Amino acid sequence: MDEPQAPRPLAVVTGASSGIGYHLAMLAAQHGYDLVVAADRPLDAAVADFRNAGAQQVHAVQAELASRQGVDALINTLQGREVDALMANAGHGLGGRFLDQDFTKVQHVIDTNVTGTIYLLQHVARGMVARGRGRILVTGSVAGFQPGSFHAVYNGSKAFIDSFTQALRNEMKDTGVTVSLLMPGPTDTEFFERADLLDTRMGADMKKDDPAMVARVGFDAMLKGEADVVAGWRSRMQVLAAKVMPAQAVAQVHRKLAEPGSARHPERAEVHPIGASRGKSSKDSKDSKDSTKGKR
């Protein structure tokens, strides 16, 4: 008589309908995990792909992850089952001038990127610590290093998430649970459309990383238990530049990329992000001198 098989490990992935989250869930399926996936959009097509990739059980939760009720719906789907890997990837952006933004939309960005994320993290991490094992991957962003003119709320929320995740890792270093931080740069996903950034140089012109590559970098870091990882050489250059440039110089570069209506005309040259600029205007130089006290 065949012995009953041990249950497969379970991975929870948020923001799994497309982009980085979709590819994280695909990797989990290929590595023998069952899945609970969540997003604020339909997941039917993605679920079929995850099953074809090897996941035997896939439970989908379409919920508003900006609300505690939406996160509770995800938690209730677990039905007490142990979570072996949590990939907290759900995120939302909002372009434009802060003073012109509808505060309901501002609040939604904060609640998705910060409140919903850390609420889910606390619940799942408590269970992992009680068992003495588990892996957590949080999707932060290189935006967390940059004062994000015309994307101020998103960048600010990612600064929180980057810092929070690194602090959480330190708090949990002796628990048997690893916490890893994935910091992508601009990635070729629906993010720019949803954040209303398609009329900006950042949305329309900047070269973007492949989300499958970004997910692979993050997933591998999670399996290895690494503290943090920046995906892509351009993103690593942006982080290095943001750490040494005065804060207002970084903000000025970001302004040129994210200001509404800044998308280049076909005849303009290729956009170069922070750390790859081909020169400064006299105004940029003045901003740099005036902001040395804000140097990181």
The residues that are catalytic are: 154
Would you give the DSSP letter of residue 88?
A: E
Interatomic CA distance for residues 276 and 127, integer angstroms: 44
Residue type, 234: R
Strands (E), 31-148: 34-39, 58-62, 85-88, 134-139
Strands 58-62 and 10-14: unpaired
Strands 85-88 and 134-139: parallel
Strands 177-184 and 58-62: unpaired
Only one residue has tokens 């140089």, namely 201
The string over 206-232, giving b where at least 16 C-beta atoms fall within 10 Å of a residue's C-beta and e elsewhere, is: bebbebbbbbbbbbebbeeebebbbbb
Interatomic CA distance for residues 58 and 33, integer angstroms: 9
Strands 58-62 and 34-39: parallel
The DSSP result for 20-48, as a single string, is HHHHHHHHHHHTT-EEEEEESS--HHHHH
How many angstroms from the chain centroid is the CA of residue 214?
A: 10
The string over 70-91, giving b where at least 16 C-beta atoms fall within 10 Å of a residue's C-beta and e elsewhere, is: bbebbbebbeeeebbbbbbbbb
